[in-house]
Structure 1
Amino acid sequence: MNKQTDPLRYAMAIFLLIGLIFSGLAIYFFKTQQDFIKTAIQTEGRVINLQNGRKGGKAPIVEYADKEGKTHFYYHDVYTKPSSYSLGEQVKIYYNPSYPDNARLGGDYFLIMIFGFIGVIFTFISIVCIKVFWKPM
């Protein structure tokens, strides 16, 4: 087979590209989360309901108050099965002082961990394949 059209070379390049994209997204999401937390106000919220997802997962609906005492609701968008939260549970929540409806759960790094894990696995596989199979032209 011609070395320039070897499908393994393309597969290694695609795996490396996927790994780098997912790793980059994990870093971006982490930095965005940290930047938000730096400017946000931390408060305690309470899980008042668990929203049902399509495949049986549940996501919390959290009630919290801003510094003026006005009540707000946060609808989490990550559904887990079994639920990661229980009714009445106290949770840490961060909200934007200028827009108190813009909030995030404290310590919510699920998406970042998934993207980082996928990125590391794909990058690792591509590097191992390059070390094992790559032969200079």
Structure 2
Amino acid sequence: METTSKGVPGFELFILLFFTIGAVFAVISFTIYRNSQNLIENGIETKGIVIDLHRLKPREYPLAPSIRYVKKDGTVHVFHSSEARNPPEYQIGEEVTLYYDPKDPDNVHLKGNYLFVYVFAGMGAMFWLFSIWYVGSAVKAIFQWLFG
């Protein structure tokens, strides 16, 4: 009996990889969103003042805000955001609403700030857009290749 061997289904593996990357980005986006919502629901809402705009990397223009706020116990805390934008979203002296975790005052969510959620959701959508049409046939071809 003669057996025929098929080559590696490269295109199908590529499509499945694209789909998987899209799923990973979607999960990351949802996790960031859920963590933000959890902080909004369970954290403490307060007002803060933008006291500085700092660069995350030397010689790069995107600026992230440093925000001073008063915790519930009356102590002053400064939060240095890791989300930089060009042009900056906030101005020095601007009052912002934020939510913080009383157990970890550096765990802060700025009201309305969902940049990373949108970025990861958008990247996931792009990967899915280019792979969703072929993922069913790709999975079928890979299973046939693996299990005959």
Please say whether Structure 1 and Structure 2 have the same fold, judged by a TM-score greater than 0.5.
Answer: yes
User: Cα gap change, 1:100/1:5 in structure 2, threshold over 3 Å: closer, same or farther?
Assistant: closer
One of 72, 75, 83 as aligned partner of 1:70: 75
What is the aligned counterpart of 1:11 among 14, 17, 41? 14
Aligned to 2:42: 39
TM-score normalized by structure 1?
A: 0.86
> Gapped runs of 5+ residues in structure 1?
none
Residue identity (%) = 29
The count of corresponding residues between Structure 1 and Structure 2 is 136
TM-score scaled by length of structure 2: 0.80
* 1:82 partnered with 2:100: no
In 2, Cα distance between equivalents of 1:97 and 1:63: 15
The reply on whether 1:61 has 2:61 as its aligned counterpart is no
Partner SS state of residue 133, structure 2:
helix
Greater CA radius of gyration, 1 or 2? 2
Q: Give the conservation status (yes or no) of the 8 Å contact 1:74–1:104.
A: no
Q: Displaced runs of 4+ in structure 1, greater than 3 A?
A: 98-102, 129-137
**Structure 2 stretches lacking a partner, 5+ long:** none
